[in-house]
A and B are shown apart, each in its own frame.
Chain A
Amino acid sequence: MFELIDVTKVYKGQKRAVDGVTMRLGTGVVGLLGPNGAGKSSLMRIAATVTRPTSGRVLFEGTDTVAKPDALRRHLGYLPQDFGVYPNLTAREFLSYLAAVKGLSARSARARVDELLRLVGLAEAAKRPLGRYSGGMLRRVGIAQTLLADPRVLMVDEPTAGLDPQERVRFRNLLSELAADRLVLLSTHIVSDVESVADDIAIVAQGRLLRRGTPEQLLRAVAGHVWETVVAPETVAAVQARHMVSRMVRTADGVRLRLLSTTRPDPDAALVPPDLEDAYLGAVGGIREVAR
């Protein structure tokens, strides 16, 4: 359905934001996970036809979207990480305008805007100028506009920023629902967002695709390498220098650490089952003894 083939993006000044990424994507939620500055947003912009890649191809159902972006745009819902709105328009007016830009018929646009305002819980606030909306409400408007044309491909970049915890949960459920019959590409640096909805996770860092697989496959990669131990507070810095420490809790007995290591870090350390955050840190930061 959607393919990125050896996609590279080099910005002026020779910064290589995306470096030879190849991915084939079908229906379902694909989580794009990576630290800040990993190149996720650049990759999302390329996938969404907003930016052209320096090299490589992007295919949607066999059509090159770099040469023919409208072939994808008619079927695309895209939510960038940061976006603005026209502050004097109401939510309904803004969505109606965007529906016209998408080329929806008048009847479809009217019905769709009403439905989407209800979907994102803004039906009662629909007549207020967007300039009076809070950040979370604007994010909802952004989410609503992605669904205007009932897209077959949905690309959302850090969509839960500005949403409170309850809204985040509901939004993740919405994404799961939507992914039943379409591709949802979800970019985030929040592991829990991906963990709860994605059955296919791609970890990127420094512009490169480091690892890709189901959550189970990613967990297997670090199984047997995640330890918990309690150390004296004054030794924490030394442990951090040697291992990737994923969690640190100060207790009455000392500091309880969760860390990644190929070997038992100290005689009292206990092996624990990995979670997705361990898998992510293992992929991005590496398990240091392995590197040595």
Chain B
Amino acid sequence: MSARVLGALAVADFRERVRRPAYAVVLLAAVGLGYLAAPAAGAHWTIVNAGDYRGVYGSAYIGAVTALAGALWLSAAGFYVVRTAIARDEHTGVGQLLAATPLRTSTYLVGKFLSNLLVLGSMTAALAGTALVMQLARGESRAVHPVDLLLPFVLFTLPVLALTATAAVLFETIPVLRSGFGNVLWCFVALTAMIAGQSAGAPLGGLGVHVFAASVRDEFAAQGIRVTEVAIGLMYADDPPRAVGFSGVDFSAAFAGQRLVAVLLAIAVAAVPALWFGRFDPARAVVPAVPTAVTVTAVQPFVSYQMVLSKARVRRGRALARLVAGETRILVAGVSRWWWLGVAALVVAGAAAPVRASGPLLIAAWIWPVLIWSRLGTRAAEAGVEGLLGGYPSPVRRALAQWLAGVALTALVGAGAGARLAAAGDLAGWLAGVVFIPALALALGLVSRTHRLFQAIYPPLWYAVLNDIRGLDFMGALPGGPHPILVGGAAALLVTASLATVAARHARR
């Protein structure tokens, strides 16, 4: 495995990614995270829960806290940023060129891992830069100590991101995880890692929160403050935490060793898919990437226009219903019979269960089509049909038809529980959910032009409802949730924003 080849692969891929406009958004998000990590003295939100206290915003504290925020959030969200390195090579055809060279498959995969890590590393660099700016902006301590500021990024953030970079390579090379299912699965993997990674027993040092917590406890105790629990997240504080001195995290050699092992493990695991990776050979793909052979007899020569076409004038008519039908067909095209069997089971279970079980069954039903919903607003762009449709009339009507197709699908999947709720005279919340979910999917799809954003945002929302967070109940599944008019209003706003986006893009075409 030549270092020169690895470097060339990683740098070329990195350059390709950072020259895309979306990269600027990614860096801005990192800067935003850095801002969140150091709230103003009077703010009621915090990302570190250490009782009623926090460290003074010096290099050591701001560096540690921002680095932990990076380990927590960049690892979860960064996966979606870097998870198309191999797919892009397949899509652009570069993979075919590389496949015909003597490049070893393991080298290619490790190169992709390094490229992923470079992207995530550049986000970390933006985060570290923001930490420095925030330290100076908050003004509690203007003495800059580069080692105290940056070392947490090296030991807390980068090893976790190395594992994320490897996970992205793994997900791209395992057929079942390449699809949207992988995106949804990562949501739950990341949620689990966020919780489990904060414990002291987490493998390879986890997120490193326990190391930070031990230093906080020791330092605060030396100042007569007893801290029982330290956790990382985005939390509301009734009273703004008070600032106390903090000289830095006490990194042990053992912890540094664990982090080194994590990075080495990440590199090693990135090469493992070489055992099964098809090297862009369509014959080894689970789903053929290129058209399979069609018998020549199926194709007849062009014939004369006059011979074939009737003299009857082409007539226009009401086409919205057929347009919605067409969009519905596009939405569910290629879905397996097993998926439809799942829908049937959910509908029957929802209809047969007592009305008190309608809420849980509705929650179960409305995660099932998550991958289908994510196609809303993205299919034309992702299939390359936009160029063809550019010369067709009424783009706003098409977007509306897409939403209606989504509404139809949502209603169908939730029909069982909906029927029970209707019988109980409690259908308003269900109806609000039916219009809200496709509205959210359409808006996110149209804005991002990729299915990944909805696949990353919807599962945590759904998970919140599953965990009885009533304020976020957009389905009408929990008692005491938001009023259906509120949810319906949000849906109306999202649809309006979607249609306005289409109209604005069309005007700027």
Contacts and interface: CB of A to CB of B under 8 A. Distances in A.
Interface of A: 45, 48-52, 69-70, 73-74, 76-80, 82-89, 93, 96-109, 111-112, 115-116, 118-125, 128-129, 131-137, 140, 142, 145, 147-150, 155, 166-167, 170-171, 173-174, 177-178
B333 A88 contact: yes
A101 B109 CA distance: 43
B391 A124 contact: no
A53 to B, nearest CB: 11
Interface in B384-438: 384-394, 398
Contact of A93 (B308, B329, B509): B329
Interface stretch (B6-14, B34-42, B190-198, B316-324): B316-324
Nearest to A176: B305
B300 interface: yes
Contacts of A148: 314
B100 interface: no
A167 B299 CA distance: 11
B315 A122 contact: no
Interface stretch (B126-134, B241-249, B290-298, B364-372): B290-298
Nearest to A141: B388
A123 B300 contact: yes
Contacts of B298: 122, 124-125, 128
Interface of B: 291-292, 294, 297-306, 308-310, 312-319, 322-323, 325-327, 329-330, 333-334, 379, 383-394, 398, 508-509
A51 B509 contact: yes
A175 B509 CA distance: 29
Given A70-B394, A170-B301, A85 B385 contact: yes
B299 A78 contact: no
A84 B391 contact: no
B319 A73 contact: no
Contacts of B383: 84-87
Nearest to A121: B300
B322 A70 contact: no
A174 B333 contact: no
Given A86-B333, A177-B304, A76 B315 contact: no
Contacts of B316: 74, 102-105, 108
A111 B302 contact: no
Nearest to A89: B333
B294 A106 contact: no
A289 to B, nearest CB: 42
A1 to B, nearest CB: 17
A121 B301 contact: yes
Given A105-B315, A112-B314, 16 more contacts: A74-B393, A78-B388, A78-B390, A83-B385, A89-B329, A96-B322, A98-B388, A100-B323, A105-B318, A107-B315, A108-B312, A121-B302, A124-B299, A132-B291, A134-B294, A166-B301
B314 A106 contact: no
A120 B327 CA distance: 25
Given A84-B387, A124-B298, A167-B301, A101 B314 contact: no
Contacts of B302: 119-121, 140, 167, 170-171, 173-174
Task: Give the 10 A-B CB pairs with smallest separation, nearest first.
Answer: A84-B384, A105-B317, A78-B391, A121-B300, A50-B390, A97-B326, A88-B334, A88-B333, A170-B302, A125-B298
B60 to A, nearest CB: 44
Given A86-B383, A145-B388, A73 B393 contact: yes
Nearest to A72: B391
A51 B302 CA distance: 31
A134 B312 CA distance: 32
A158 to B, nearest CB: 13
Contacts of A108: 312, 314-317
B305 A174 contact: yes
B202 to A, nearest CB: 42
B291 A97 contact: no
Contacts of B313: 150
Given A121-B303, A132-B292, A100 B388 contact: no
A30 to B, nearest CB: 17
A79 B389 CA distance: 10
B435 to A, nearest CB: 23
Contact of A86 (B300, B309, B385): B385
A1 B313 CA distance: 21
A132 B390 contact: no
Contact of A100 (B319, B333, B384, B508): B319
A109 B313 CA distance: 11
A104 B308 contact: no
Contacts of B314: 104, 108, 112, 148-150
B291 A134 contact: yes
Nearest to A177: B305
Contacts of A129: 334
Contact of B387 (A82, A100, A107, A120): A82
B317 A89 contact: no
Contacts of B308: 115-116, 118-119
